Structure 1
Amino acid sequence: MKVKVLLLTVVFLVSSYGLASASTLSNWGPTGISEIPTAEVMSLGVGIGPNIGFYGEESLVRVPVTLGLGIGMEIGATGISLPSSSEISPVFHLKLNVIEEKALLPGLSIGGILDVNNVIGGNTIYLVLSKGIGNLKGHIGMGSGIYEGIFGALEFKLTDNMDLVGFYKSEKVGIALNINILSFLNATVTYHEGLIVQLGLSVSL
């Protein structure tokens, strides 16, 4: 009984503060879509997006936590459990919105992932542009590390709560379906070299 009351209390508090649309975290941590970051930056609030990828007989677990500072900047950390190790190792990420998206102007953000323990093969720096027109929104960027080379995505809004996404990263094409379950809760199913499932929780303060 106490557990049920506690769960209901948590749901009530989250819904009270999370009435704004949930920010979707990319699987590596920065606000984004599935495997890539976008120019969007989380407003004042916090998000978590645990996900697991299945690649043949191996799996990759990532647990990103991102904090929006409310000044066009977000910071966070992602715990990563590689197939070759049972330990969870952290990487740290930061993203800054340089130009806010407007009617005739795409949004522009720069960011980086600090890989202090060489978990993912070194540090990452990237730049990304995002622009929405009607039910479509496009993203294109370039970077190093896990975002090496050119990456991009095209979102199509199927319904108010569901987006279909095609994207390109690491010289491979992927597809994702993002579903907003509640104002603060979303789920993303991706296929990119393997099946990836993410559940995201975002709370605006």
Structure 2
Amino acid sequence: MPEEESILLRGLEAFAELGYDRASARELARRLGVSHNFINDRYGSKAAFWRAVIDSALGAQLVGLPQPDPELDDAECLRMLIAGFYRAAVETPLIGRIFVDEFSRDTERLDYLYEGYIAPTLQLLLPSVERLVAAGRMASVPRDVLFFAVIPPVSGMLDGPLARRLGRAEAATPEQLTATAEALAALVVNGLLATGGTAGR
């Protein structure tokens, strides 16, 4: 693994375990195996290092999310997009811990997550949602309600110890995790469609 990639991964592990505030520059340097001046010298500040860690973990996932397919029915397109988001979450499970910590804090870091990653992800979903609402197949819901209907089930992809207690195999295969992502996405989309009008029922 290249040095930069290794440093960013260890930074991700540190921020996920400790949270931003408890991940002091000294503790980060210790975990990264570098001098105490390294983060400031290489990145300029702890905040800039955090952004580099986030970009490294999420940048490729955002680019790799499925794109809306005009050939698909909007409900199917929505299911595909949400399943793709859930599968991406499996590839970056530590990000889930960072999100839980940051979502409850009104900070520049939350602005960074929202503007760079959350809003673009929502923008993939909204055209299908808007057409389903216009067709009477889905109730019109505020954007925050839509977000919290879609995002919390991602914990079903990440919470390994609890999932195993609920019956998941000890070592779930990629195929099993993909099936879980598909099932979660179908459940979410079916729930959203169940709130709609009579059309499409």
TM-score bin, normalised by smaller chain: under 0.3
Higher relative contact order (CA 8 A, sep 6+): 2
**The structure with more helix, counted as a fraction of residues:** 2
Between Structure 1 and Structure 2, whose CA radius of gyration is higher?
2
Task: State the TM-score, normalizing by the size of structure 1.
Answer: 0.24
Task: State the TM-score, normalizing by the size of structure 2.
Answer: 0.25
**The structure with more strand, counted as a fraction of residues:** 1
